[in-house]
Chain A
Amino acid sequence: MRIGVFICQCGTNIAGTVDTRAVAKKAMEFPDVVFAVDYMYTCSEPGQKEIQDAISSHRLQGVVVAACSPRMHEPTFRRAVKKAGINPYMFEQANIREHCSWIGTDREANTRKAIDMVRMSVEKLRRNQALFSTQVAVNKRVLVIGGGVAGIQAALDCSDGGLEVVMVEREPSIGGKMAKLDKTFPTIDCSSCILGPKMVDVAQKENIRLYAYSEVEAISGYIGNFKVDIRKKATYVDWNACTGCGECTQKCPSKKAFDHFNEGLGATTAINIPFPQAIPKKARIDSDYCRYLTGGKCRVCEKICPVKAIRFDMKDEIVTEEVGAIIVASGYDLFDARVYGEYGGGRYPDVISAMQYERILSASGPYGGHIRRPSDGREPKEIVFISCVGSRDISVDRPYCSGICCMYIAKQAIMTRDHIPDSNCYVSYMDIRAPGKGYDEFIRRAQEEYGVKYIRGRVGRIYPRGDRLVVQGADTLLGVQVEIEADLVVLATGVECSAGARPLAEKLRISYDQHGFYMESHPKLRPVETNTAGVFLAGVCQGPKDIPASVGQGSAAASKVQALFSRDTIETDPQVAHVNENMCIGCGKCEQVCPFGAIRMKTLRDGSRKSEVLETVCQGCGLCNATCPNKAIQLRHSTDDQILAEINTLFD
């Protein structure tokens, strides 16, 4: 084999701590290497051209590039060598940047290590074989997980592009957190007025199939051909029959059911429609509160229902959908304010979360849009907002900024001053973070036009005095202690990952960070892709963000899906497991360890059992390769021979 070696300087990223010229010179001594050179930016256009020129002038049959991580530029270089007529799998990339030059400052040691890494790549390349992709058909349907504003935007964009969409929403209605909001910053748009029509569109589009009150149970398959099991949770109401007339909710005698939509302020009936604009507008029975389901007596709704839609014997049902791509828009949870014992959230009824206050402000909320205290229904005059409750606090393992609280506090304070002009609003804050379009101006309006009093510093304690709350804290600008006697305290609870985020990630085989937010493929350049092909991200499941950013990501994810579906077939990755039937003893261990169900056993005409790889399902993880007692199953491009050659050369 004739091998060419290209050492990238990556400006000073590599050349700063690695003598690239020495590496290239040394590489010429390795077996089969006929050409070696270092270059400033191998990934640049002239850099790629240098590789292509060398391939033709030196009649190269294989190429090693020692540069950055293959995660970054392996596709780039594979394309470059392919253009010059070499099979793209006759290429190896040694990562002498992340694995070498960026780690140590000892130039001599780094250079030695870089030489070793190039030597390993050359040894592997000498055993490479040309590999060829096959084409598989793409199922041009897309699954959207989550029906908040990000998922809705993604679904509608895909639908507009003519794609069939399957949407799965955990709650009985789509709309997510945004549906609960009264107004949105910084325009004070009515939230349900701008979201409502989009929700209706989801219901009315013929190419969107909505599974509300459903969850993703299992996912198998691969890009272009996923199979998704969806659990339709029992609603005890036949939604095909239910017209959403609401008669049942009028007559239901169990009136103390927890009102999830109103964040536990007030109560609802056991059979309920979560809110007037719910999509789908269908009734559901909360089995924890239904008198018949808990006590065996009642069935009032069954008698009252004009279309006979009540089904007390309903069970969860699993349905299977096949799709070619998945957009994850599974949203977030809000921090549990009870963690801060000093604020008394959960103990004092007039210490509430910002989402509860949002429901109080809303005309469709528990108090009809009149601001009242949960404890005694009195109109509050002194209201304190406390920011960063569960944000930027390492003591509660939330070191990150939730990004939205400064803005929604300003909005809520403005709305409060608007509703109750003789009220006083105080905001206790650490810093004000308002980097969006028109955001800082909005904060200034709260301060200057609406007279909201901003106090920089933390609150240390809240305690009741009579029927009011004493808020004790510091003003760190004036350097004094502050005590405010408040009627109502609103805690700006921060954003945290959804309780179900981690299990869902494991079903999707995507990764998440230490706080449970899903990892994008590249933080700058691939913000809505995941490292699992065919799975895309939108909204807060990827990290805290506001509505405009969530909507933007929803559209971005949809456009990625449309680009994927613009082709009828996709190329499979040929780096999959392969069985040498002559050596296979049919023990079936590979079938047991395969996490993707990509191996099955077959019986040959002579009656012997052999294992078989479903190449389109195989993800190339290599577990079977490591398990096989006879080394009959080999992962192409990472065979035992190739890996051992890399290791052995280190000890030669």
Chain B
Amino acid sequence: MLKRVAYYPGCSCEGMAIEYDQSVRALCYVLGIELVGIPDWNCCGSTPSHSYDPLLGAALAGRNLAIARSQGLDVVMTPCPSCLKALKTANQVFRERPSEFLDVLGMPFSGDVRAISVLQLLYEEIGPNLIQKAVKFPFKNKKIVPYYGCLLTRPPAFAQFDDPENPVSMDRLIEAAGAAVPDFPHKTECCGAALGITQRDVVMRLTGRILDMARAVGADALAVACPLCQQNLDLRQDQVNRALKENFNLPVLYITQIIGCALGIDRKTLGIEKLAVKTDALFQSA
């Protein structure tokens, strides 16, 4: 099992998704995984850089991997699926166009630093069995549905994690936390992503559909592993209610918060109070 990984929070975890960052750090501390900061880490490049120039995007993300390597680490963990994609792309571009990539990067790069998501860390490195054993406060009589979004498992050849159309890793982790997991057909349907900025009606429709299905299968809450998914489903839930004349009231928690709670970590430490949709009902025993 991995004991020590480089930690790349990305920009969301310093702002909108600060509770994701808090819960990842708290959970890893309890599980005995040392998160090593990447000194002077920089933006992964996100969508604008690779849209402008793929080499620029790859080099921006690659710099973080190179620093991690210089710290003697060979795994970088990030909570954000978009950062994960950028970090993995750096390795891919290095393999395909090594000389151009190194030229832009301007520092040593070995291409052997693996980038993984926090979900991958929990599912593949720690595993549901170990987590289940550590659970002190299981979610009894609660139904929580997992929402994976688009990037964590796709494209399959690139992600190399779980099933692209019907992933189950988060299902197993939620079950380990003691909650029931109803079959959730929309677990990989698009949430609308960044269209919330340019075409909000699309996000209203797509996010509304996911919330509608979650309600239909009787969910008490949703579990997510992506800051953008969380934002659309949680922060915009009020907007969705107004736009669609609905009254959804579904808490949307990060998977790290759910496991953290089950392990007995203080809710304040996990940043639960920062969520837009109130979670009180979820923590009342039925």
Contact = CB atoms under 8 A, between A and B. Distances in A.
Contacts of A463: 185-186, 213
A463 B188 CA distance: 11
B246 interface: no
Contact of A347 (B164, B166, B186): B166
Given A463-B185, A463-B186, A342 B216 contact: no
Interface string A386-414: 00000000000000000000000000000
B165 A342 contact: yes
Given A463-B213, A465-B216, A341 B163 contact: yes
Chain A interface extent, by class: under 10
A342 B150 CA distance: 13
Point out which of B185, B189, B216 has the most chain A C-beta atoms below 10 A from its C-beta. B185
A340 B186 contact: no
B166 A461 contact: no
Contacts of B183: 347
A463 B210 CA distance: 12
A347 B185 CA distance: 11
A341 B185 contact: no
Contacts of A344: 166, 185
A464 interface: yes
B166 A340 contact: no
A341 B164 contact: yes
Contacts, number: 17
Interface in B22-75: none
A341 B213 contact: no
A42 B189 CA distance: 64
A394 to B, nearest CB: 12
Interface string B241-277: 0000000000000000000000000000000000000
Interface in B177-225: 183, 185-186, 189, 213, 216
A90 B140 CA distance: 88
Interface in B143-195: 163-166, 183, 185-186, 189
B158 to A, nearest CB: 13
A463 B186 CA distance: 8
Contacts of A464: 185
Nearest to A472: B189
A341 B165 CA distance: 5
A340 B156 CA distance: 13
B106 to A, nearest CB: 37
Given A461-B189, A463-B186, A464-B185, A340 B213 contact: no
A340 B165 CA distance: 8
A465 B185 CA distance: 9
A461 to B, nearest CB: 7
B189 A341 contact: no
A347 B187 CA distance: 15
Nearest to A464: B185
Nearest to B167: A341
Contacts of A340: 165
A256 B216 CA distance: 34
Contacts of A465: 216
Interface in A326-347: 340-342, 344, 347
B142 to A, nearest CB: 22
Nearest to B156: A395
A464 B185 CA distance: 7
B205 to A, nearest CB: 11
A299 to B, nearest CB: 42
A363 to B, nearest CB: 35
Interface of A: 340-342, 344, 347, 461, 463-465
Given A340-B165, A344-B185, A461-B189, 14 more contacts: A341-B163, A341-B164, A341-B165, A341-B166, A342-B165, A344-B166, A347-B166, A347-B183, A461-B185, A463-B185, A463-B186, A463-B213, A464-B185, A465-B216
9 smallest beta-carbon distances between A and B, as pairs? A341-B165, A463-B185, A341-B166, A342-B165, A341-B163, A464-B185, A463-B186, A341-B164, A461-B189
17 contacts: A340-B165, A341-B163, A341-B164, A341-B165, A341-B166, A342-B165, A344-B166, A344-B185, A347-B166, A347-B183, A461-B185, A461-B189, A463-B185, A463-B186, A463-B213, A464-B185, A465-B216
